[in-house]
Structure 1
Amino acid sequence: MELDLRTVMRHFATGVGVVSTWTEEPSAPGGRRHDAITVNSLIPVSYGPPLVALSLRHGSVFLADLLTSGFWGVSILAADAADTARTLARPWEVRAGALRTLAASPGPHTGALLLDGPGWMECTLADTFTAGDHLMVIGSVVATGVREAQNPLVFLHGSLAPAPAA
């Protein structure tokens, strides 16, 4: 029997968000080069203390920047943000160009960019461990916020879609 985890997991709806971080770069505006990627691997780990986890592919530029800075922001995406999700799922060069035009502001606790959406959080690096071809990154949540109620964007059957109205 062949295992096909990817096909099975396509039947599990997950929320979609953007995770952002930065690295020091004196030639960049404000001395920081920002990066952001689309994720659907965000999971709460603990509410006391507040911890979340991300699963990131080994060797990615984004992961290297996150491990260097030790800070990241999470923006939960609204149903109308599918284009943003697709753009930030592209290679670094495309993401870098998009970040110059997306409406985003640095979080007050970490400096990581926060995008518009139903909710956001800022995190500091707490722990990491290898899990197969990915690195699980555990973050201490240092700030959270919610905006007006909006339907979230979800990933299901290999596609982005708005979640049904509550």
Structure 2
Amino acid sequence: MHTFVTGICVATTYTEVEGERRHDAVTVRSLASVSLEPPLISLALRRDSEFLTDLLAARVWAVSILDVAGDDLARSFSAPDRETRARALLTCATSPGPRTGALVLDAPGWLECTLHDWRDFGDHTVLIGRVTQTGGGRRRPPLVSLNGALHALADA
């Protein structure tokens, strides 16, 4: 699968801890469009991730589609521990999504989703989200993954 080019996104969700919202974010390479009517997307997340546990409890998330300026964000949100990802969230421009409250990064495109369905397959859970809001504006070439490395898609 390293030879298949995929876009790079950051998914965000949150959990309530002692009356406060704690946000988390992870790098995602598995975003796919499932349906246009209704608008549905899919993500695949490791079944053992804390992020997945939070997402299933909140039942909402946002996905920010990264461009070439987001390579540092992609690396930061790939960290296995929540604390490193939380520190990374503090260093980037975000705003709560108008429909879900999940954080939207300053990115060329973003989607807010509510949980529509999910299924476990192997070591991952595939989530189907109903898109409730979209936004963004194209600025730079998209960030993609190929052969295990991040690249700019210059011809886009």
The aligned counterpart of 1:52 is 41
CA–CA distance in 1 between the matches of 2:87 and 2:41? 28
The aligned counterpart of 1:162 is 152
Code of the residue aligned with 1:25 in structure 2: it is V
CA–CA distance in 2 between the matches of 1:83 and 1:56? 21
Deviation track 1:53-98 (CA, whole Å, cap 9, x = no partner) reads 0000012100000000000000000111101100000021100111
Q: Are positions 1:111 and 2:101 aligned together?
A: yes
Q: Is there any run of 5+ residues in structure 1 with no aligned partner, and where? A: 1-8
Q: Which segment is superposed worse, 33-42 or 97-106?
A: 97-106
For residue 83 of structure 1, the aligned residue among 61, 72, 85 is 72
SS of the equivalent of 2:69 reads coil
The aligned counterpart of 2:120 is 130
The aligned counterpart of 2:51 is 62
Cα RMSD over matched residues?
A: 1.0
Query: Contact (CA 8 Å) 1:80, 1:162: kept in 2 or not?
Result: no
Q: Is there any run of 5+ residues in structure 2 with no aligned partner, and where? A: none
Moved over 3 A (4+): none
Code of the residue aligned with 1:10 in structure 2: it is H
CA–CA distance in 1 between the matches of 2:4 and 2:48? 26
CA–CA distance in 2 between the matches of 1:25 and 1:130? 26
> What does 1:16-55 align with in structure 2 at a 5 Å threshold?
16-26=8-18, 31-55=20-44
Q: Are positions 1:14 and 2:3 aligned together?
A: no
Greater C-alpha Rg: 1
Q: What fraction of aligned residue pairs are identical, expressed as a percent?
A: 51
| Shift of residue 146, structure 1, vs aligned partner | 2.5
CA–CA distance in 1 between the matches of 2:6 and 2:52? 21
